[in-house]
Structure 1
Amino acid sequence: MQDFETKLDTRMMHPKDQIILVINRVYYRGLTTTTGGNISMIDGNGDIWVTPAGVDKGSLTREDIMCVKKDGTITGPHKPSSEYPFHRAIYKQRPDIKAVIHAHPPALVSFSIVRTIPDTNVIPQARNVCGPIGYAPYALPGSDALGDSIANVFREGYNAVIMENHGTVVGGSDLKDAYQRFETLEFCGRTIINAKTIGKTQYLDDEEIESFEAQIPVLQPEQEEVVFPSDEREIREEITRIVRRACQQGMMISSYGTVSCRWRDNDFLITPTNVHRWDITREDIVQIRGGRREPGKIPSRSVWLHQEIYKRHPHVNSIILTQSPYLMAFGVTGEKFDVRTIPESWIFLQDVPIVPFGSHFKGKNIIPELISKDTPAVIIENDSVLVTGDQLLQTFDRLEVAEFSAKSLTMATPIGELQPIGDNEVEDLREKFLK
């Protein structure tokens, strides 16, 4: 298994290394099978680098990656992917696309076999990341007809396409862009499917999404002098590890997720905006000191919310704001996330309220007022879950417990009526574990 936690820097990495890194992310997140799916890139010479046909995706090395030269010459130890024809056709139709990912992620395959597309208005950033979703009619896998079918849809301006009874294919300006689109689209699909299991999916209208996009923060003034003592650097490292871990565990995706940690008094460190979460490094983390930001960096657009929580709640030392597929099923349906069904989960989370979309916008005080020792987490409709804690690892643990609980509740729904414990049992838990 390759190190798929390495930062994807398209400016410096050879196409072979970029492809290996991303195929590892795709495979080890369970988004394709051993020999399923393929990835390609086209370089400035017009040469196409592509995964090989029939080789284990879990053990690919850079030496396995094939190159089809602009003149048609093939170099490498294997045959290029059998789906290479549609990669070539996409690049021919869309010179602006430089990378293509095709795979069979379970949720998007589900949409393909019922012949529909996921509505990306289920979460706010997905429409902008994915764009409109195209649909390609069925053709024989590996055939020129399939290549023509997909390329024709891309020619219409789509960057993400559902392939009828097959899977999905996405393109991007580089491999990082393509992967973010692929991961976000699959997340939308999983969220919608999970939501339909427990209730009726609620979608945002275009005006609500535009209001979300308008929440670009009014930037704090920059610090005149920045200090990086050892305790500050240690927090940067911890935040970076937790973000990578959340991505690896499927509780954060490239396009969304914020982590912050109190440093001293009300000063804190927070993840930036517009940096892919998989690729965050210590240097990307933004220091907020005395209400001023680290020069040259843009913090998460939710920075004001983190700042308000730290000011009001001295017991809170870390915050995670993220999306995970089972918690978001409750977030996009409004169904009650009742952890009283699982006593151990209630000890960690207690009752988790759901607040309306927009409660996290700048100037709203709903969430800072709700957070307390008795309410360490809230779900924001069609947006995210916010979890607080003393230490960052404790906060991440709460997030994991919340997502696992949401998964259990979702899976229980088709097999019977959920049975929570009563108020007396809850008080017994409170008395034993929380006092």
Structure 2
Amino acid sequence: AIYDARPDITAIVHAHPVALVAFSICRQVPDTRLFHQAHFVCGQPGFAPYALPGSSRLGQNIAATFAAGSDSVILENHGVVVGGTSLAHAFQRFEAFEFAGKTVIKGRHLGDVNYLTEAQLEMAQQRNVRLESFEPRAATSQEKELRRQLCVFIRRGCRQRLLISTEGSFSVRVDCDSFLITPSQQDRETLDIQDFVLVRNERCEAGRIPSRATLAHRAIYRKHPGINAIVFAHPVNATAFSITSARFDARTIPESYIFLRDVQRVPYGVQYEPNGRVADFVSLTSPAAILENDGVLVTGSTVLDAFDRLEVLESTAEAVINSRVIGDVAPMPDSVIEELKDAFLK
């Protein structure tokens, strides 16, 4: 029925993921205007009324919702159906829709959720990277090893749900003029060592399209010679802080503060500016930042270091959110912070 109603759809995913089932049984549809990537990947969300599972009536209800223009459809007291132009596209849409649902739920534990306006969504969608191309020499053993590390940690990040679908970007410095970065609009879990794009000064590897966040990565590397790896990501719990006005405070346990220090908050859209102002919000002594309605930014001295900090940021955010049902968070006092700095951060 869906294929008949929408000839442009060639693949369908039907599932019962926890977050979207929660919306289903509350008869609501998650608003995907949390951040630009989820909004554009999910397409138009919709809602189909209940009918007996497996019945022709249910098929008609779902098909009618797709015919009206929806691409990702919540089924009343049932689950979700998502359509796409290929199986990979449909699954990316499904992942992004479930992620949006999870993030809304987590965000509501922290306060009111802030959604993007059409103008803000368009700002993100219109950005692009125009770099001249060059033919690189054969990769050195160092570059090959860095490509391998990116592969390993990106796949690990996907398994841990720190990275999903085509969202986010990861890079590593090769030398003072060059870095490797994830390509634009490719599923992160399927990336192989040859897929990463070498960027050198104002040029990029011929035949490759680097991430649209390339200019932000380049600005950070240029301002901070001690930073050698950067990740922009959307882990659910940390991203919940980015879609609300709740302040993220890493002064929860010693390990969190030692890894993250004082986490900055970046106003929406700064990371898209061509002037590289986003580099002002991170440093060796402030390695992570919350990006309003766009996840998180984490830096490190190595790929492993940046990934470790991403893990700690997400686990700390989850602990803080979970604590809301227990009581008020008691952050470590200034005296403890000074003691930690003296012992570990000099």
Please, what TM-score do these two structures have when normalized by structure 2?
0.97
Q: 1-side partners of 2:264 and 2:277: how far apart? A: 11
| Counterpart position of 1:191 | 103
**Contact 1:184 1:255 (C-alpha < 8 Å) held by counterparts:** no
Residue segments in structure 1 that go unaligned for 5+ positions in a row: 1-88
* Alignment correspondent of 2:142: 231
Question: Are the aligned partners of 1:199 and 1:333 in contact in 2 as well (CA < 8 Å)?
Answer: yes
| Greater CA drift, 230-239 or 109-118 | 230-239
The answer for the alignment partner of 1:297 in structure 2 is 208
User: Which contiguous aligned blocks of 4+ residues in structure 1 show a shift greater than 6 angstroms?
Assistant: none
Q: Distance in 1 between matches of 2:255 and 2:143?
A: 34
Instruction: Supply the distance in 1 between the matched residues of 2:300 and 2:114 (Cα, whole angstroms).
Output: 30
Correspondence for 2:195: 284
SS in 2 for 1:388: strand
Q: Counterparts of 2:55 and 2:326 in 1: how far apart (Å)?
A: 42
Give, in whole Å, the separation in 2 of the partners of 1:303 and 1:121: 23
Q: Aligned ranges for residues 143-222 of structure 1 at < 5 Å?
A: 143-217=55-129, 219-222=130-133
Q: Secondary structure at the match of 1:287?
A: strand
Q: Deviations over 1:350-393 (max 9, x none)?
A: 11011111110132443212221210001110002110001101
Q: How does 1:251-270 map to 2 (within 5 A)?
A: 251-270=162-181
In the alignment, which residue of structure 1 is the partner of 2:33?
121
Hey, what's the Cα distance between the residues in 1 that align with 2:275 and 2:250? 27
In 2, distance between residues paired with 1:146 and 1:226? 58
Is the contact between residue 215 and residue 276 of structure 2 (CA under 8 Å) also seen in structure 1? no
Aligned counterpart, 1:94: 6
Partner of 1:38: none
SS of the residue 2:271 aligns to: coil
Which of residues 313, 319, 326 in structure 2 aligns to 1:408?
319
Q: Is the 8 A contact 1:267 1:291 kept in 2?
A: no
User: Partners of 1:291 and 1:95 in 2: how far apart?
Assistant: 42
User: 132, 137, 140: which is aligned to 2:49?
Assistant: 137
Q: Which structure is larger by alpha-carbon Rg, 1 or 2?
A: 1
- What's the CA shift for 1:96? 2.0
Unaligned runs of at least 5 residues, structure 2: none
C-alpha separation in 1, matches of 2:281 and 2:294: 17
- Cα RMSD, aligned residues only: 1.2
Higher relative contact order (CA 8 A, sep 6+): 2
Change (3 A) 1:412 1:225: closer
Alignment partner, residue 315 of structure 1: 226
Deviations 1:200-246 (A, max 9, x none): 100000100000111112x2111144331221122112112211111
Amino acid across the alignment from 1:414: V
Percent of paired sites with the same residue:
44
**Residues 1:390 and 2:337 are matched in the alignment:** no
Of 160, 173, 184, the match for 1:273: 184
CA contact (8 A) 2:264 2:282 kept: no
